[in-house]
Copies of this chain bind each other. A is one copy, B any other.
Amino acid sequence: MTETILKTYTIGELAKEFNVTTRAIRFYEDKGILNPSRQGQKRIYGPRDRILLKLTLRGKRIGFTLAESQKLFDMYQHGEDNKDQLETMLATLDEKDALLAQQKLDIEEMEAELQAARERCLTAIKKIDNI
């Protein structure tokens, strides 16, 4: 008995859980990121699709394009045996890592500036209130 029963989701459930439209989810399938099975003509998503969706959305939030995410997933899945592909993936990973490092700096600098702007705002409001 290697049979395992997996949790499944409808497109609407996933859409609600991750706060995206069903249109977006179908779009990701179009782009080859998701691969739901069917029950009749209805899409059925398993845990794997759910994870991929989650990763995709996270990628998006930090500026990955769908193509980039897809490429990473793809390499992760079919790259075990091909050395060239593994090395390409390594390079990609390093590149992404560098970008993330830069982004961290950018975020911290931006946070400092937002904080400064915030204080300037508060001071200006106080002045107005005290007139």
Q: Are B107 and A103 in contact (CB under 8 A)?
A: yes
Contact with B along A90-131 (1 / 0, CB 8 A): 100100110010111011011101100110111011001100
The CA-CA distance from A29 to B24 in the complex, in Å, is 33
For the complex, what is the distance from the CA of A55 to the CA of B100, rounded to whole Å? 18
Contacts known (A61-B103, A107-B100); A124 close to B80, Cβ less than 8 A: yes
Complex Cα gap A118–B76 (Å)? 10
Q: How close is A50's CB to chain B, nearest CB, in angstroms?
A: 16
- Given A62-B106, A107-B62, A79-B124 contact (CB < 8 Å): yes
Interface pair B103/A62, CB less than 8 Å apart: yes
CA distance A77 to B107 in the complex (A): 22
